Structure formats: C-alpha cells, structure tokens
Structure 1
Amino acid sequence: MARRAGLAAVAAALALTAAVYGVTRPASADVTAQLTAPQLVADMGAGWNLGNQLEASNNGIPSETAWGNPVITQALINRVKASGFKTIRIPVSYLAKIGAGPDYTVDAAWLNRIKEVVDYAYGQGLYVVLNMHGDGYKSVAGSWLICDAADQTTVKAKYQKVWQQVATKFASYNEHLILESMNEEFDGQYGNPTQPCYANINAYNQAFVDTVRRTGGTNASRWLLVPGWNTNIDYTVGNYGFVLPTDQYRSSSIPTAEQRIMISVHYYDPWDFTGQEDGVITQWGPNATNPAKTSTWGQADYLDGQLKKVHDTFVARGYPVLVGEYGSIDKTAADSTNNRYRADYARALVSAAKKYGAATAYWDNGYNGAYGFGLFNRSSATVTQQGIIDAIISAAGTSTPSSPSSPSTSPSASPSTSPSTPGPVGACRVTSAVSAWNTGLTNSITITNSGTSAVNGWSLTFTLAAGQSITSGWSATYSPANGNVTATNVSYNGTLAAGASTTIGYQAGHTGNAAAPTGFRLNGATCN
C-alpha cells in the first residue's frame, strides 16, 4: 500500500526528530538453525509495517520524511518490539537513487541508510522483511517497475541490477532477514489480470530469486518472499496466471523436501470498512451492533475462507505465506466505537492466519487521527492504539520480547477498553519468564485458572523486586509501577474458563536486581 490518509495532515500531526541510536549488534553470517516453513511462521509471530517511511518520495527522490513522518529511530523500533511484535516489514523505494544503465548503481548513502534502519530491528533479534515498494506504482513520480511498460528489457535489467546490489549488501545477515521481491505489482487497473502483464510479474519474481541466490552467503539459503498480481489472494491462488519461481540456484544444504520461497498476499476486505475515507462503514464482525454501519460483505466467514484458500494452495505444499499488509483506518471521528471493531478485525485476521499457517504484518502508515493506520506515535516512540496491539499480540500468541537493548523510557498508553469487574476465583497457577539486560527486563506472565469455575474479570497482584519499575505493559493495566503491583484484565481476556490461561507482560527498568516478582494472588487467591 502507498500513502494513505492525508499527507498534509500527517505532516501537521507528526513532528520531526533526528535522534538516531547506535546498532546494538553487527550483522552476522550465522546460518545455523534454518527453520522449516511451520517453524518460521511461528517464530515470526506478530508483524508490523514501517510504512510511509523508506518508500516515501518527493518528485521521484526517496526520503523517509517526504510524507510527513519523522526520521526513523532506534527508540521507535524498541517500542515496537516491547509491544510484542517480532517481525518488522520495511518497504523501500529506490527510484531516482538508481543511476544510469547499464550498471544502475544505487546511491551508496541510500543503501547505507537502508542498512542502518534494518539494523535497528535486526540488531534486536527481530525478523526483518525488506522489499522494493514504490518503484512499481504508476502514481509515484519516477516509477519504472511497470509490468505493461513498452521496454521490458530495460525494466528487467534495472530490476536485476538493483536486487544484486541490495542482496550483496545483506549477504552475511542470518535468516532473520527475509527479502521480498516487490509490492502490489500490477498495471494500475483493478480487475482481472492481463496476461502479458502477469507474465512480466512472474519474470520479475524469477529474476529476483535467481539474482539473490547467486550473490551467495546466506542469500543462497534464506527465505525469499514473492507476490502475485497486486498481492490479491484470488488472483494469486486462482487460475489467473501466477507461476511460482523455480529455485535452481539455492544452497545444496537445504533439504530437498523443503522450500525457501514464501508467498506474499495483502488483505483489506471489505474496503468500505478498512480504507474508504467517508466514515460511513465503521463497524465489522459478529459484535457489530448497527447494520447501517456494517458492510454487507467481507465479514468473518469470508475472511476465514480467503485464508483457507491460501493454505490449500501454498501452505499445504510447503510454501509459507505472509499477509504482509492488513489493517483498518481510524474512523472514531464518525463513530466513537470504531476502535473496538478495528481491534476485532485485526484479531480475526491474525487468528485466521495463524489457524491456516500464515504470518502477518499490520500496515502502519505512521498517521494517527482521522483515517490513519497508526499504532504508534513515531516522534515520541509511544503507543497510540494499545487495544489494537493487544488484539494482534493475543491472537498471534506471540511471546513477549526477549532482550531489547535500548528500551524507550516512555510508558505505553493504557488499553482503551474498560476492564471487567473482577469475579471470584478458587485456584490459580502462574508462570513467570523474565529476560533481562543491563538496566531493563521483560517479563511474560501466564495466568491459569486451575479452579472448577470460570473467572469473570480478574486482578493479579504481585510484588516487584526492589529497584524495579514498570515502564510499559501489554494485555493488562498495571498500577502502581513499582512495589506491590496490581495487573487488571482488559476487555478480551477478562473471562477465564476453568483450565483456561492468558498471558500478559511488561517491560521494566531495574538497578541491578532482575529477579522475578513474587507473591502472586488472583482475585485474592494465592497462586501456585
């Protein structure tokens, strides 16, 4: 997806910052522990797009601030990780940063900045999906990756040379870097694909795979991501012309029965809810209360069916799938309940994807306010849509962050939903998994109702070790930040059936004592 929601408003809403932090660890040539397709999808967890940044441009010149977002910082990436995301997709445009043929040399400073931003996430142990984005949009000045352009010989030569340079730049990075051939490539006409254009898209994908593999290093075995026509599910799984690229140059170390090709699709159905900027359709899903504000199609059963198609066509054959973009715009100006349905939509999409063996990455364009997709304030590196994040992380079953190196000190916003009234509990069990670094830690707490009756609303109390103070949390509200803390459920995890569990977590600073909390009590009952 390109720029969504009022660029002038974006510029007005987001202040510029030039704070850039150092990389926490260098790129590594570690190629151990190559994952199978199911393992990869599980390990990628919940994903997030750094949208409208490195693919932004002005008159054909890429610039990360061209569409109103601030300079990307390490603090922002740390906040995304601390919120529970394990994968970051980084869209990139090259455009006028590409020199003349036949070498098509990419500007060295631009490649270095791309590497720097990749390292913000890669250096934190996150998965990074790096793609070629705006070069294929006819609406973008200077675009050239156009599947119905007359001179396809030049297009293909340029495409091959650019990917050769990019892949070489990252040849030593381990399997946490995934390269994606292109974004939403089509001829600018919605509707059935044209066959000459689809043939060129297939040719681009094949050139991408061959070129990346031939650069060697980890590129010979890393996972590579390719889309069909406009990343549209129907036009990719159906009989419209999509051809999987062959992988003849891959490393001989890859077991014969395993793939190293992933399929990219996007999901924004129904568009009148997710992206149409009129404020009319503001509700979605089984919890919708007003039929006049709910789309007549594209509900949960349709969503499930679309993800099942992807599974049956690709996942079942060993090709993992990434729903590389999904999400819905903010229409709270028209309907104050809209965020509830945006969270329901995200939860349903991620749940269905997990069910059918696909990973996901939420589309965030950095814009908060009317018609924005933003989950974070990129200037202050703080959370703006905790309820949607909670829905995503919960549905993905993502474990909490493992070892952020430079956490932001700004606490996350509290969930926007009201907690349930705590009910009685007979017995409970709690497990706590602390991961610490110099002056900080994260803690993942799993609460199990080991009694025989359901819990309808809960509060978990515990005592932090001396010198610890919570800076952000997820899937619960936390108060106070230190000492004897009470974590109270949010809307979606307040009911725990007998035997059921939920996982919450927090990030905290410490002054040398990273011990786990003690004295867990759920609604007053002591937990084992």
Structure 2
Amino acid sequence: MFGIGKFGLVFGALSLASTAAFALPKATEIYPDMGLGYNIGNTMEVPGNQGGPTGWGNPFPDAAYVKAIKDAGFNTVRIPCAWDSHASNGTINAGWLDSVKTVVDLVINNGMYAILNSHWDGGWLEDHVFDGEGYDKTGLVNSSAATVAAKQESYWKQIATKFAAYDEHLIFASANEPGVNDPWNGGADNGQWAFDENRMKVLKQFHEACIKAVRSTGGNNATRIVVVQAPRTEIDKSPLLASMYPEDPAGAGYTMAEIHFYPYQFSLMTSGDESWGKMFYYWEDQTPGNDAAHTCSGSALGSKKSIDELFSGLKSRFYDNGIPVVIGEMGAVKRLSLTGDNLKAHLKARAAWYGYTVASAKKNGLVPCVWDTGDEGDGNFTIIRRQVNKFGGNVGDITDVETLNSMREAYGQAALPGNSIDSLVNQNPDIPEGEGKGILVTYATKTSDSSEVGTLRINLSGTKKDLSQYVGIEVRLKGEVASAGPCTGAGDGCGDFGWTSMDLFMMTGGSWAWFDAPVLQQADQELNASKFQTIQVKWEDFRTEPADLNSANAIGLNLYGTQVTGTITFDYIAGIKADGSIEIIDDFDKKPGLEGTATGKVVALNGTGDIGSNAIRPVRAASSKMLVSVRPGTVTASFSAATAGMASATLMNFMGQVIDQKTFSASKGANSVELQSNYRGAAMLIVKQGSQRYAQKVLLK
C-alpha cells in the first residue's frame, strides 16, 4: 500500500533507499492517534483445519462490518490471525495471504490502525515456550526452541514481504498469549508450570526472530512497529519482559509491549462459586447492595484500586521508557443467566467497568483493545453484531450501547442513542418470590437443507460436579417442536423434509470427554404440549457409558434437526439415585447456557408445574393424524386424504438419509402405504399428499 502517512509521504519498499531518511514514526508518536481498540475475534485466527474464518460462526469481515467498527468510535483494530494451519512445507498459502490482506485493507482504508498478530493456531509456538524438556497440554514433551524460532522467522519474513509497502497504520504483533496453556501440574505460578527467567530467554528469542525477519525485508518494515508480548500476557509477568526486553536492529522506539486484561472472577468465571472465591456479577457501586460477596471492589483484581495500580506499574515499566503498551484483549462476559434487577445491575456494572478500565488505560499510555467474539448468547463479549443469520438485525448493529458509550466517554466522544440493557432485562424478567421456575426454550433453525443444533447447557460446579452418586438423569419437560418450517417444500426453495431429535449429553474429566444418549428418538418418549412428563436416561442408555462421573463438567440437551420450529419448557434436570429417588441438579433459578438454534427465558411455573400467567406460552403446531404400525422390516402408515391424487411416503433416519421412499396414488378418504426397512432405531416417517403433510417419529425394529 502506498499513501500519505501521518508524518509525510511514505514510499514503497522499492523506493526506500535509506531507513534513516524515511523512517516510519516511533511508537510514542503514533500512540496518541491509536485511540480505542477492537478485536475481530473468533475469525481470522480460527485454524484452517477448523474451518478457517467462518469455522466458529462468524462471517468473513466485510466493508459494512469494518465501517461499523470505525463508526462506533474505534481507531485501532487487532486482527488475531492463524498462519501455521494455512501453510504447507513452511510456506504460507498465497490465497490466505490475500485473504488477510483484504481485511487489513478494509481496516486501513477506514482510517484505522491494524495490529496483525500471530495467534494460537494449534499452539505451535504459544504452547512451546521452552527449550528441551517441558510441558504442553499433552504432557511432558521435548521442544527445540531453535526450531520454533526458525519457523517464527520464516513466517514473519513471508508476512512482512507481503505488506512491506504499507505505512505506519499497519503494526505487527509477534505472538498472542505465549505460555498461557501451560498445564496445571503444581507449578509455582498458581499451579501452572513456572514461567521463569530461563523461559523468558526462550520467549525473547521468539520475539527477536519476528523482529529480525520483519527488519530484514527492508522498506517500511525497517522501522515498522512490532508488538511483543509479556509471558502469558499477564501483567504480573510483565517485569520479566521489561528486564529481558527483545533487541531491535532498528534501535529504540519501534516496538510496543502487550498484556491482556481479564480479571478472572469478574471477567471469565462462570462455573460457579468456589471455596477460594466467588463469581463477581457486580462492580464497585454498581451493585444491588445486598450481595457484597459477588461484587468486585476494594483491592479485588478488577476493582478501581487494582486497575490503577496495575496500569500505573505498566506505565512506569514501559511507557515512561518509550514503549507504549497494547492491552491486546480485555473484557468481561455478559452473565445472561441473571434475571430482572440483578441482570440490570450486572449490565450496568459491566458498562462502568469497561469505561473505567479504558480511561485508566488511556491515562497510563496503554491502547485498550476490547475482545469481541460475534456470539450473543450467555457469556458473550459482543458489542458489534456480525451473526445476523443467527441473531437477526443488521451487520454493524450495536448490541451493547451502554458499554460502548462508557468507553466513548473516556475518549471524549458523544454518546450514541439506544438502550441495550432494558431490552435484555425485559427478555429475562424477575420471577415473583415463591413461584417455581423453569426455562422456556424456543428452537428455530435458520437453514432448510442442513442439520442445525440448539443447545441447553448447564455448567456444573462444586458438589454438582460429582454425578457418581446417581444411576442416571431425569428431565421434566413439556412442549412441541415441528419439523415443517421455516419452509415446507421444494417449491419454497428448500428441502422436502424436516426432521428432529434430542440427545442428553455430558462432558466429564480433565479432557472434557463427550458422552450422549437419545432422548426424543424413542417412540414412547414423544413430547406432550399440554402437560409435563418426565424422561429418564440411565448411564447404560448412553451410546458409550460415561466415565469420570465424579468430575462432571457440564450436562445438557441438544435438539438436532432441519426445518425445526417450536418451544419446550424444562422444569428441572435431576440425578436418579439407586433407590429411584431424585435430587435436583438444576431447576433453572438462573438461565442456563443456550446456543445455536435455541433461545429462551426463565419463566414462572405454578404449583402444578404449569407456566404462570406472566410467561409466554408455547405455540402449539397444527397436529396431523396418521396411524403407524411398525413390524420387523416394515412400516405401515394409515391416513385420510381430502382428495384423490398422487402421494409420497418417505422413511428417513435421523441423519437425514432416506431408508425407503414410495410414490403412490391416494384415494379420497382412508389410505395406507407400506415401506420396507432393514434399519433398526429411530426414524422419521413423512407422508405428503396435495397440501396435506403428515410426519411422525417411529422406532424401527
């Protein structure tokens, strides 16, 4: 890219004969213009073997989205990026470099700074910040620091060559969070393997490999700003970086340091209160007042006092020595499991925390870059909408007006109109004291020709983590889902058939091993829209019997299907004891995690388990009358046709594969059709005749 930089005419690499004459501005010179920063998270850093930029649910960044970032008041965009998974035999794919260039150009052409980093990408560098014997997530391994450094140098030489002509608005960042995945094995650093001076020497080597590669390509890269990360990007490890700071052939002033800021109890902790500390829903004076235990204040990490102390330490350690600091990632999750006034207090607390944090960062020579993932479910960080296919609206809509405005105020920008807090609170109202609670979940698939999943997930903690005392799980639920919409036939431009099934799942142990069992695939376990029913799943019913039950991390229900719409109300999930009694694991006092095609709210249930009058009731889909007889090898359907005409019958398994299909002439009135099958298990039988459509789950013998 050629253009006018802040400090005059910037020539391309071929025109730059002397870096001394045409050096790009130093970090302290561009820092004041970098302003408020934003991350295009969960996109360009998604490893190529996990689907690349769209693999985690976000669309590829387009012009409307990047313009919305600028319009929101951001002036720096961090682009987390994968490289190793887009390389073959050490060479980065040319098409991938072009894709990254597309995003960089969108950012810079909107007048913003772009920070292009090397993200986790399978941990090829991040998980191996040691030389020789050390630990990664697989256990004790051997890693050659020289080999990793050589790969680091090779990749950055290729990246820097691609972008050599860009002006100071493009900044490179050596890594992401080096060493953050060190396993928990009783080490010196809060249980992790210690990050000491010996490991800092290795990290310094990796950073210098990046800087050396960039400088070697000449042109504007000879003095381009390069950002280097503290160990694990933890503030308390930043003294190691300061004392062993990487050397730069360009001389002093052309690098920045990087830390991340997620005060755990306030920002990330979601698994429940622990003996060592509680989750912080609230912050300082933004609190209900009667829940000090869940309020971040005083000297707690993330409080005003701790923010000021930590950030002023970074200032004296780096900025005062000519090295501005980038907070490459910062944020706090939205705890949408809260309801009513508690949710409102929490959302106000988040907004106040963001505002105070970025104001303190600005005061201390730090560039704060908020983390944004694109998702809008429980635990999200999202400020600018991307996933319109999932959440509706338009690309660029502001989903968290109050948080954005609190940060804009810190940078002297006018407040934007809107109210995100009341909208979320209205979706999650308080339940009157004394009434039982449940969760009403609405399922609606977005596509018509592929399977989608709606997830209700409960993260377990404390005593709930031990499910070994039970012999299975009981779920109490009511509702109805139909597999006839959002569209019903080929004439609507979508598939002819819809199907649905539900599985109970759990994840256990340190490896989060996955186990699942069918729930609503069994003929005697159909949903009932008019009354609650209980469904029991024993451990032996799982496809693979669960292990590590004394260390259960999560349980939940997945509704799979195509063309699915409907609602289900869940009263509770309970553990079944050997004597047949049950103990409640979760009765939805707070909303569980909802993902995919599932959205929902906590609702009041009266004494009989019916939904209270103040809650939204499920909409019952029109029922179809079809009698089905199942015998080994055959399925017979009897139905009534309003008029004579051609009809079709299809038998599908729950993977959407056709087992048998037949076209036949139906008479007005009673009809029957027989299909053949050597398949055993759950299936869907669909009969269509004229405008009539019948669908029923069957259990093939």
Length-normalised TM-score, structure 1: 0.65
The separation in 2 between residues aligned to 1:223 and 1:121, in whole angstroms, is 17
Aligned 8 A contact 1:264 1:322 in 2: yes
The separation in 1 between residues aligned to 2:35 and 2:126, in whole angstroms, is 34
Aligned 8 A contact 2:126 2:176 in 1: no
Is residue 369 of structure 2 the alignment partner of residue 376 of structure 1?
Answer: no
Q: Residue 64 of structure 1 corresponds to which residue in structure 2?
A: 53
C-alpha change, 1:66 and 1:417, in structure 2 (3 Å) is: closer
The separation in 1 between residues aligned to 2:366 and 2:220, in whole angstroms, is 23
SS in 1 for 2:177: coil
Letter in 1 for 2:143: A
Q: Residue 497 of structure 1 corresponds to which residue in structure 2?
A: none
Q: Residue 82 of structure 2 corresponds to which residue in structure 1?
A: 93
Q: Residue 259 of structure 2 corresponds to which residue in structure 1?
A: 265
| Per-residue deviation, residues 474-501 of structure 1 (Å, max 9, x unmatched) | xxxxxxxxxxxxxxxxxxxxxxxxxxxx
C-alpha change, 1:205 and 1:376, in structure 2 (3 Å) is: same
Is residue 335 of structure 2 the alignment partner of residue 331 of structure 1?
Answer: yes
- Quote how far apart the aligned CAs of 1:207 are: 1.1
Is residue 292 of structure 2 the alignment partner of residue 291 of structure 1?
Answer: yes
Aligned 8 A contact 1:343 1:391 in 2: yes
Is residue 150 of structure 2 the alignment partner of residue 157 of structure 1?
Answer: yes
C-alpha change, 1:144 and 1:232, in structure 2 (3 Å) is: closer
Residue pairs, 1:133-172, within 5 angstroms: 133-135=119-121, 137=123, 146-148=128-130, 149-172=142-165
Is residue 368 of structure 2 the alignment partner of residue 367 of structure 1?
Answer: no
Q: Residue 54 of structure 1 corresponds to which residue in structure 2?
A: 44
- Quote how far apart the aligned CAs of 1:306 are: 0.3
Aligned 8 A contact 1:275 1:329 in 2: yes
- Quote how far apart the aligned CAs of 1:242 are: 5.2
- Quote how far apart the aligned CAs of 1:96 are: 2.4
Q: Residue 247 of structure 1 corresponds to which residue in structure 2?
A: 248
Letter in 2 for 1:396: Y
Is residue 276 of structure 2 the alignment partner of residue 301 of structure 1?
Answer: no
C-alpha change, 1:262 and 1:283, in structure 2 (3 Å) is: same
Aligned 8 A contact 2:332 2:350 in 1: yes
C-alpha change, 1:364 and 1:242, in structure 2 (3 Å) is: farther
Letter in 2 for 1:354: K
Q: Residue 466 of structure 1 corresponds to which residue in structure 2?
A: none
Is residue 63 of structure 2 the alignment partner of residue 74 of structure 1?
Answer: yes
| Per-residue deviation, residues 215-242 of structure 1 (Å, max 9, x unmatched) | 11111112111011011111112x5885
Q: Residue 515 of structure 1 corresponds to which residue in structure 2?
A: none
- Quote how far apart the aligned CAs of 1:398 are: 5.5
C-alpha change, 1:398 and 1:413, in structure 2 (3 Å) is: closer
| Per-residue deviation, residues 301-326 of structure 1 (Å, max 9, x unmatched) | 01110001100111111111111111
SS in 2 for 1:64: helix
Aligned 8 A contact 1:62 1:95 in 2: no
- Quote how far apart the aligned CAs of 1:198 are: 2.1
Greater RCO structure (CA 8 Å; 6+ sep): 1
Q: Residue 199 of structure 1 corresponds to which residue in structure 2?
A: 201
- Quote how far apart the aligned CAs of 1:347 are: 0.8
- Quote how far apart the aligned CAs of 1:274 are: 0.5
Aligned 8 A contact 1:229 1:242 in 2: no
The separation in 1 between residues aligned to 2:241 and 2:80, in whole angstroms, is 26
| Per-residue deviation, residues 157-201 of structure 1 (Å, max 9, x unmatched) | 111100000011111111011100000001622724144332211
| Per-residue deviation, residues 395-435 of structure 1 (Å, max 9, x unmatched) | 133699xxxxxxxxxxx8713468xxxxxxxxxxxxxxxxx
Is residue 351 of structure 2 the alignment partner of residue 343 of structure 1?
Answer: yes
Q: Residue 122 of structure 1 corresponds to which residue in structure 2?
A: 108
Letter in 2 for 1:207: A
Length-normalised TM-score, structure 2: 0.49
Q: Residue 131 of structure 1 corresponds to which residue in structure 2?
A: 117
SS in 1 for 2:379: coil
C-alpha change, 1:219 and 1:240, in structure 2 (3 Å) is: closer
Q: Residue 322 of structure 1 corresponds to which residue in structure 2?
A: 326
Q: Residue 462 of structure 1 corresponds to which residue in structure 2?
A: none
Aligned partner of 2:238 among 236, 239, 242: 236
SS in 2 for 1:371: coil
SS in 2 for 1:383: coil
The separation in 1 between residues aligned to 2:383 and 2:41, in whole angstroms, is 11
Aligned 8 A contact 1:281 1:293 in 2: yes
C-alpha change, 1:266 and 1:187, in structure 2 (3 Å) is: closer
Runs of 5+ consecutive residues of structure 2 not aligned to the other structure:
9-23, 131-141, 273-278, 388-393, 423-701
Letter in 1 for 2:343: S
Q: Residue 113 of structure 1 corresponds to which residue in structure 2?
A: 99
SS in 2 for 1:133: coil
- Quote how far apart the aligned CAs of 1:38 are: 4.1
| Per-residue deviation, residues 78-115 of structure 1 (Å, max 9, x unmatched) | 11111111110000012321222xxx110111111001
The separation in 2 between residues aligned to 1:398 and 1:413, in whole angstroms, is 13
The separation in 2 between residues aligned to 1:278 and 1:188, in whole angstroms, is 19
Q: Residue 457 of structure 2 corresponds to which residue in structure 1?
A: none
Q: Percent identity?
A: 28
C-alpha change, 1:221 and 1:398, in structure 2 (3 Å) is: farther
C-alpha change, 1:88 and 1:212, in structure 2 (3 Å) is: same
Letter in 2 for 1:395: A
Aligned 8 A contact 1:187 1:197 in 2: no
Aligned 8 A contact 1:136 1:146 in 2: no
| Per-residue deviation, residues 120-175 of structure 1 (Å, max 9, x unmatched) | 111111100000002363xxxx7776213522232111111000000111111110
| Per-residue deviation, residues 460-485 of structure 1 (Å, max 9, x unmatched) | xxxxxxxxxxxxxxxxxxxxxxxxxx
CA root-mean-square deviation: 2.4
The separation in 2 between residues aligned to 1:312 and 1:75, in whole angstroms, is 39
C-alpha change, 1:113 and 1:413, in structure 2 (3 Å) is: farther
C-alpha change, 1:285 and 1:37, in structure 2 (3 Å) is: farther
The separation in 2 between residues aligned to 1:76 and 1:321, in whole angstroms, is 27
The separation in 2 between residues aligned to 1:152 and 1:417, in whole angstroms, is 49
Aligned 8 A contact 1:54 1:93 in 2: yes
Please identify the structure whose Cα radius of gyration is greater: 2
Q: Residue 32 of structure 1 corresponds to which residue in structure 2?
A: 7
C-alpha change, 1:136 and 1:39, in structure 2 (3 Å) is: farther
SS in 2 for 1:244: coil
Aligned 8 A contact 1:366 1:378 in 2: yes
